[in-house]
Structure 1
């Protein structure tokens, strides 16, 4: 007897798995059931990144009522105000949307030639894994939140003036050299593999050193570290990782140390802009730092810092850059660098 082919999962199948019981409330009904003003409920829904349904569309479930009711309790207790709730909703929506998209792409990459039966089995497996993934997500979020709180509490500036959002950090940009040429020569699959490989290596290096990967922009990553020595270690490890990947492009890194403004998970301010300008100055395989980094690395063993030619940088006038490199054990022993002068290694732009 032949086996009955498995059917392709429907939209209803997917929603039932991930969302539970079907929708039964309209936009006005869900707000009324939760005891939250309908206008605020709509603002929260938009901030989460969801399309606004029509007033008569049945689009909300009991789970939506429960979530909205919890928000109402926090508002009534005075623990949060409406502005904070909307900002929190926007942060949650943007972060989870990217996470969901990324995870879906990982799965879809392995299902390029999948049939309906395989898709059905995948949905069944997802149902089994979902509870554990949910608990893992909450655990990782708590650990990340603790790490952020620890970094912020370690900032003397923030402790001295809690009203100031500015903190002092080392900021680094690392980008792939000649990415335009690679993007022109590689097919879409190979290009995606190149970008994902770079982001993956950068994420591992930054995390291993205790820094934070702020964002990845295809051929470029932005990271922060609590002190110049940590940032220097990250930059040197990124350069080493690129050299170890003989088939891929080289990287160049710019580092600056100073006050930054953290906003919505990103970082802003002159220090960030200066790090970007220094990256543009760097030659392939080199690390260029500002005077704040150079001062902070004074006396740190295993490093060589050399002043190079002063040059103009948009928005900063004429700046004094430095080249950072690691000393080899032999150079540490004799007390001077070997080979090509470091100052030459950093001269020139792209």
Structure 2
């Protein structure tokens, strides 16, 4: 059997294992089966972030058709509008693409490390194992998703039972952003210098250790990670004191220093120091809009800009947030000299410290 034929057989086997069967349908077939307009079916597929072939190309499976039919049923029954359906589909596509790539690359790295394989050989080995791994990964994904959905529902129930600012009441101002939250950024110091020249394994390990440590701190202190951006983490908390506590703990836990030159001499990142690197932290209380798995609003911009002027392993806030923390036990608030923040203007930050 030639390599081309073997690759074709493997691709068909992967389709059967991962997609539930062969590709026997076109976009036009799916549109007819679901009763949806062809353009809407095409849009649905495009927002998943997957290749969208011509209308008559046979590229889809029976499971693809079932997914579109379920979405069409929700539209027909009035459970959601077409714009919302596309937004939900885009969320699935964006998140699933990142999740699948993250998991597959982690598997490749694991196989390469454990079996001493080069990258191409490791990728072929993972391809062979995917049919056995996929059901386990799928079950774990569904379990995690339901737990997170339940967590959000419980948080909303608590907020609205309590009422007040945290519940998102905007009072008399209908134009105000809906949610009152503490928003914080923690930005790694000298990321470029620290990672220059690292190989793929050490760079992956460095970033993973940072993300893991940051996520652990945020969740243990009662906050939530919105996203990580390589050398930075964005988090939110439902009350201002929790936000300050998260910020201080990030600055403390990630306050060690990595001697990259020494670690290179030791053949990689030193085990005891991995994932610990100084961060500059900004935290601000304000109203935000939560959309697309992200948060938006003036307070987000201010928190990000504060990391530009903070010293390593310190936490800065704005005067309005500082006033809300005046009576918080265990905190010291130190007004700082006025500074110019890009895009914001003249600004007098306040440093938050542990008493």
Please indicate, yes or no, whether the TM-score normalized by the shorter chain is above 0.5.
yes
Deviation at 1:125, TM superposition (A): 5.3
Task: Tell me if structure 1 keeps the 8 A contact 2:335–2:348.
Answer: yes
Where do residues 41-56 of structure 1 align in structure 2 (5 Å cutoff)? 41-56=41-56
Structure 1 residue 177 corresponds to structure 2 residue 189: yes
SS in 2 for 1:214: strand
Question: How far, CA to CA, are the matches of 1:244 and 1:177 in structure 2?
Answer: 11
SS in 1 for 2:85: helix
C-alpha distance after superposition, 1:183-226 (max 9, x if no partner): 32433432222112111111111122221211111111111111
Deviation at 1:234, TM superposition (A): 1.4
Deviation at 1:131, TM superposition (A): 3.3
Task: Tell me if structure 2 keeps the 8 A contact 1:210–1:230.
Answer: yes
Task: Tell me if structure 2 keeps the 8 A contact 1:177–1:252.
Answer: yes
The answer for the alignment partner of 1:148 in structure 2 is 152
Structure 1 residue 102 corresponds to structure 2 residue 115: no
SS in 2 for 1:111: helix
Deviation at 1:292, TM superposition (A): 3.0
Where do residues 161-200 of structure 1 align in structure 2 (5 Å cutoff)? 166-200=178-212
Where do residues 198-209 of structure 1 align in structure 2 (5 Å cutoff)? 198-209=210-221
Question: How far, CA to CA, are the matches of 2:170 and 2:149 in structure 1?
Answer: 18
Structure 1 residue 250 corresponds to structure 2 residue 278: yes
Deviation at 1:20, TM superposition (A): 1.5
Aligned residues: 321
Check 1:160–1:136 CA distance in 2 against 1; reply closer, same or farther (3 A cut).
Answer: farther
Task: Tell me if structure 2 keeps the 8 A contact 1:258–1:292.
Answer: no
Where do residues 316-335 of structure 1 align in structure 2 (5 Å cutoff)? 316-327=344-355
Question: How far, CA to CA, are the matches of 1:120 and 1:261 in structure 2?
Answer: 44
Check 1:119–1:321 CA distance in 2 against 1; reply closer, same or farther (3 A cut).
Answer: closer
Question: How far, CA to CA, are the matches of 1:46 and 1:295 in structure 2?
Answer: 48
Check 1:18–1:164 CA distance in 2 against 1; reply closer, same or farther (3 A cut).
Answer: farther
Question: How far, CA to CA, are the matches of 1:119 and 1:46 in structure 2?
Answer: 27
Deviation at 1:280, TM superposition (A): 0.7
Deviation at 1:104, TM superposition (A): 0.8
- Listed as ranges, the gaps of 5+ residues in structure 2 are 1-5, 160-165, 259-272
Question: How far, CA to CA, are the matches of 1:73 and 1:160 in structure 2?
Answer: 38
1:279 is matched with which residue: 307, 326, 346? 307
The answer for the alignment partner of 2:168 in structure 1 is 157
TM-score normalised by the chain length of structure 2:
0.82
Check 1:163–1:43 CA distance in 2 against 1; reply closer, same or farther (3 A cut).
Answer: farther
C-alpha distance after superposition, 1:92-130 (max 9, x if no partner): 100111111111111011122448998787566544443
SS in 2 for 1:318: strand
Task: Tell me if structure 2 keeps the 8 A contact 1:179–1:219.
Answer: yes
Question: How far, CA to CA, are the matches of 2:13 and 2:122 in structure 1?
Answer: 15
SS in 1 for 2:204: helix
Check 1:275–1:174 CA distance in 2 against 1; reply closer, same or farther (3 A cut).
Answer: same
Question: How far, CA to CA, are the matches of 1:134 and 1:158 in structure 2?
Answer: 38
Higher alpha-carbon deviation: 245-254 or 194-203: 245-254
The answer for the alignment partner of 1:330 in structure 2 is none
Question: How far, CA to CA, are the matches of 1:19 and 1:254 in structure 2?
Answer: 45
Task: Tell me if structure 1 keeps the 8 A contact 2:170–2:177.
Answer: no
Check 1:306–1:22 CA distance in 2 against 1; reply closer, same or farther (3 A cut).
Answer: same
Deviation at 1:146, TM superposition (A): 3.1
Task: Tell me if structure 1 keeps the 8 A contact 2:181–2:238.
Answer: yes
Question: How far, CA to CA, are the matches of 1:191 and 1:134 in structure 2?
Answer: 28
Question: How far, CA to CA, are the matches of 1:151 and 1:316 in structure 2?
Answer: 32
The answer for the alignment partner of 1:87 in structure 2 is 87
Deviation at 1:301, TM superposition (A): 1.8
SS in 2 for 1:102: helix
Task: Tell me if structure 2 keeps the 8 A contact 1:49–1:93.
Answer: yes
Task: Tell me if structure 2 keeps the 8 A contact 1:182–1:191.
Answer: no
Question: How far, CA to CA, are the matches of 1:47 and 1:219 in structure 2?
Answer: 28
